[in-house]
Each structure stands twice: as C-alpha cells, then as structure tokens.
Amino acid sequence: MYGTVARMVVKESELPGIEEKFRQIGVGTARGQLGVYVYQMDRDSREFFFAVMFESEEAYRSNATSPEQGQRFAQLAAMLEGEPEWNDGHIIFSLTA
C-alpha cells in the first residue's frame, strides 16, 4: 500500500458544511484508493489532516497525474489558505477494528 498524509488549512468561510463539500468534490473516490481519513484538529478547527491509502504506489501516481484528480484538487485548493503539505510514503502497517 502507498499513500499520503496531508496537512491543509481551510478558509474560515468554507467551514460550514465542510463534510458535504468534501463529498461533492469527490474526496475518497479515486481509482485504486482504499480509503481516506479526514481529521479536523481540536486546536484549530481550520486545520485538517488527510490520511489517504492506495493499493499501490503506481495507483497513487496514476491518480496524482489524472485530469480527474486535477479537477478535484482545483476545487479543494480554492477552499484552502495556502498550499497543502504532502507527506507521501509506503504504508508498512495498518490495523482497523
């Protein structure tokens, strides 16, 4: 598995209905994606961390360069203060209940 942990700061004006906005953009719908977790931080409600998992690095890279992801990211970027911080890597362990 492969994925990214991303840190993003959402504009204050975008916070109302943020979960539905993520759904409308298509967060979590990419081909080869196994899952996504979105955390909203207690210390600052504008700060979010996304943990995104793909079946392989190839699936991740294919998505990253796809026109569909380009459209999703453009919509997401319009909601953000500044650039996201991306931290890509191999998932070496996971456990879910």
| pLDDT tens-digit map of 1-49 | 999 999 999 999 999 999 999 999 888 888 999 999 999 999 999 999 9
> pLDDT value at position 28?
84
> pLDDT value at position 60?
96
Per-residue confidence band for 96, with pLDDT thresholds at 50, 70 and 90: confident
Of the candidates 36, 53, 54, 43, the one whose C-alpha atom is nearest the C-alpha of residue 9 is 43
> pLDDT value at position 85?
97
pLDDT at 97 over 90: no
Topology of domain 2-90, per CATH?
Alpha-Beta Plaits (3.30.70)
Mean pLDDT of 46-63: 97
> pLDDT value at position 79?
95
**Torsion, Cα of 26, 96, 88, 22 (10° steps):** 20
